[in-house]
Each structure stands twice: as C-alpha cells, then as structure tokens.
Amino acid sequence: MKKTIIQICTLIMILLAFVGCSAPEEVKKEADDRLQQYSPMFEEKVRLIYGNEAKLENIECPTLMNIGSPVPDVTHSASKTLTAKLKYKGASYDAYYDPVTDTLYDTIYADEICNFLLDCLPIDKSQVLFSKYTDASFETPFFEAGTDTFEKAALQKNSLLFNIITKEDLSAFKDYDFSELPVFKTLNDAEMFCSFTVVSLKDESQLSTLKGKIHELDFSTEGHPDIYVSETRTFEDVFKQCHIQSSLKMYYPMVDGKKGELRVRYNE
C-alpha cells in the first residue's frame, strides 16, 4: 500500500511536468486585479492593528494550481487571499489578508504561543534533542492578528502539531494524568486542535533521520509506524530503524469521542 502511494505521487509529479505549472493569462489577470483592489485594504488593516511601525512587503495574490481527478485534470485559480511579508519591530513575519471577512492573519506571536505549550509539557527540557511545531500543512501556524496569548489562540479553529525528540525515558508517563494540568484543561474546551508526539531515543545516531521524518509517521497506532529506507528501498519498523525506546502521543481536545487521549508505545 505504501509503495503504491509513493508510485502515485511520482506519477503525479511526472504528469505535472508535462502539463506545466504556469497559470493561464486570464487567471493571472484576475490575480492582478484582486491585488490592485485589495492591497490598500490589506495595508490599512495592518496599520490599524499594529500602527505605522508595521510595513508590508512583497504583497501578492498567488495563483493556485488545483489537481483534479483524474490526475491530468489540472486547473488554475486566483487566490481569495493576499499574502505578504510583515515587517514589525525589526523582525519579518508572514501574513495574509482575507478581504471577504476583512481579517488579517500573521505569525507574529506563533513562537510565543507554541513555546508556551511546549513549556507546559512535564518533560525534562534539558534532555530534548529536537522540537518543532507546525500547522496541519506542516507550515508555521498563522493566528488572527493581535492574538498574543495561548488563551486567545485556543478560541480559534487552528491545528497545531508538535513533534519532540528527547533522550528522556517516557515510561513514567504511562499512567500520567495530563488532563489535570491547567493548559490541557483549557485545550479540552478549546476550538483549537493540538497533537503532541514525543519520541525517546536510545541513542542519537539516527537523530537526523528521525528529525526529517517524524512529521510523516503515525505514532498513535497500536503497532509501530514504518519508515521508508532509501538504501534498501523497503519499509522498516521505525522503532528499530531509529533506535527508539518509547513514544508518547496526545490529542486535544477530542479523538474518537475521548477528551485528551494519551497513548504510549514501547519498543517491544
């Protein structure tokens, strides 16, 4: 099954190479028209929220490539939102503007919000080898402009995925009641979906491999996930391949009707 998926993805890439990725002129014109129409609104929204110190650069209305079914059915369209780089207090962030709802989204407080959640995990931070957070598209999460605290972020319909690799033995968390922690009580009543994957390594020899693959692996299953090994062109048990001793997986607020579900897997 997994080999079939890889073959299908390869076929899609080949077909797209033949079809071409350039949008038709009428789609480009529509995108340009939207850019001209909504850019002033985008800039005004930024000024109202962040003041004159904030500046937008490289405002665009992207053209989107839509892959239909069957695969060769490729269409293009102008994005409904405008994107830009937002310069604020000496730093650069990503931002986009939805003219339909007159709403600005940005990544200004993404680090602060997500690091707060990471800090709330009762793991030994000194033993963490790698940590990363993304949205459901594996990109830096966007929040509605001005969302500067976790409590505000929890009211939005975001998806946050946290991946952590540590040297710490996770066996102590087998019966740990995460739901008693204040932050997880908040998540249980939140609009925002959060997934936490914590993986414990026996040694660090396979750290770089796991860092690049952890977001693709499902540690919530009863068994161990498989990882594709390019050298042998086969799928192997990731626990054995990457020298994993245990993993911890949590979902909030709800999975299969259960709030704050926790699953711990061991290399058995």
State which of 81, 106, 131 marks the end of a domain.
106
Q: Are residues 121 and 100 in the same domain?
A: no
45-61 burial string, b = 16+ CB within 10 Å, else e? Answer: bbeeebeeebebeebbb
pTM of the model: 0.81
Reply yes or no on whether the pLDDT at 221 is more than 80.
Answer: no
Q: Are residues 11 and 81 in the same domain?
A: yes
Reply yes or no on whether the pLDDT at 3 is more than 60.
Answer: no
Reply yes or no on whether the pLDDT at 259 is more than 60.
Answer: no
Tell me the residue range of the domain where 45 lies.
Answer: 2-106
CA distances from 81 to 22, 41, 63, 157, 229 (A): 19, 12, 10, 18, 39
Q: What is the pLDDT of residue 44?
A: 98
Q: Are residues 172 and 116 in the same domain?
A: yes
pLDDT digits (tens, 9 = 90+) for 28-53: 999 999 999 999 999 999 999 999 99
State which of 86, 106, 126 marks the end of a domain.
106
Count the domains in the chain.
2
Q: Are residues 189 and 79 in the same domain?
A: no
Q: Are residues 66 and 154 in the same domain?
A: no
pLDDT band for 93, please (50, 70, 90 cuts).
very high
Q: Are residues 44 and 170 in the same domain?
A: no
Q: Of 12-21, 30-39, 135-144, 255-264, where does mean pLDDT reach its minimum? A: 12-21
